[in-house]
Homo-oligomer: A and B are copies of this chain.
Amino acid sequence: MERKVKILGTGKYLPDRQVTAEELESKLGLPAGWVVKKSGVQVRHFVTNETSAQMGAIAAQRALDEAGLVFSDIDCLVCASGTSQQEIPCTAALIQEEMNQSKSGVPCFDINSTCLSFVTALDVLSCSLAMECYQRILIVSSEISSVGLNWGHKESCVLFGDGAAAVVISRTPQNETSRILASRMQTFSDGAHYSEIRGGGTLIHPSEYANGREADFQFDMDGRKIFRLTSQLITGFVEELLDTASVKKQDIGLVVPHQASGMAMRIMGNKLGFANSQMMNIIENHGNVIAASIPMALHEAIVQEKVRRGDLLLLLGTSAGLSLGGLLLEY
């Protein structure tokens, strides 16, 4: 299960336009303080003209810069997002195009497990690195949530933001200790319809939009049901993940959770027995950026020097599906 993989660099991109809690309260006719109390989000960013591929390309270039690499050092580009830019082709190919690398031949594909897409991609591709199929892989999560929010559903529409994050990984040099110790994912489709956008795929084609089905093309969630199912599962899930690697909670330097909501992270931390200081939290000024949340929080943890080489990190989250995912790594 252990894979000797190293994170070489990380980068992020946020759109210029900031949307404050106050702006949303005014727009939605909510009392002052409601948005931060419910979501934990003071400021999120929304795209104006940026595309997913443009945001992803900038984050990717920044991750390369941080790693001291150039695009030609990379031999695989994976987009790990819950949303896609177009129905066809995959977003990774569009990111390659935005990076002006359209003749490079670097293979491009997408991996999608909604909010856990980055964790899934890191898990799966660490095996491809270990088997020497690739030398250095760029994983990019780029999300535009703002186009698909239901502004009539106040509980969910105040949570989300747009943005991108990217990570470059390679096999670990011989004399270093960076590695993935263990990973685990579980999907319980009992919760497949607890959070969804029903339309836009082959089930409800966009041609149905005008036929009174607008809501099918907007994000819909039942926060209470998600909370109930997740609460039943999360403790056992994390214990088994840590047991696999013979790691104790107190050994973990930092938990990098999916930034689902301020309250969700607080409850998760308490339930799992992690101190607040052990939980990386960027929700206040980013919001929930779907799959970009975990790599963006990881990037911020590195920039803010909350994590150093040799520290144990636990990437942890839930996603539509309903899935739980965790990955234990030595940075």
Q: Collect the chain B residues with CB atoms within 8 Å of residue A106's CB.
A: 186-187
- B127 with A52: CB separation less than 8 A: no
A199, B192: Cα distance in complex, Å = 24
Q: Collect the chain B residues with CB atoms within 8 Å of residue A90's CB.
A: 112-114, 320-321
Q: A1-B132, A201-B85 are in contact. Are A192 and B320 (CB under 8 A)?
A: no
How many whole Å from A112's CB to the nearest CB in chain B? 4
A130 located at the interface, meaning its Cβ lies under 8 Å from any Cβ of chain B in the complex:
yes
- A199 with B86: CB separation less than 8 A: yes
- B210 with A88: CB separation less than 8 A: no
A61 located at the interface, meaning its Cβ lies under 8 Å from any Cβ of chain B in the complex:
no
- A196 with B88: CB separation less than 8 A: yes
Interface string of A188-220 (1 = CB under 8 A from B): 111010011111111111110110001001010
A217, B3: Cα distance in complex, Å = 42
A259 located at the interface, meaning its Cβ lies under 8 Å from any Cβ of chain B in the complex:
no
A253 located at the interface, meaning its Cβ lies under 8 Å from any Cβ of chain B in the complex:
no
Of the A-B pairs whose beta carbons lie under 8 Å apart in the complex, a sample of 23, sorted by A's number, is A1-B132, A86-B197, A86-B200, A86-B203, A87-B197, A87-B200, A88-B114, A88-B219, A89-B321, A93-B187, A93-B192, A102-B190, A102-B192, A107-B185, A107-B323, A108-B321, A108-B323, A109-B117, A147-B205, A199-B206, A200-B200, A200-B201, A207-B214
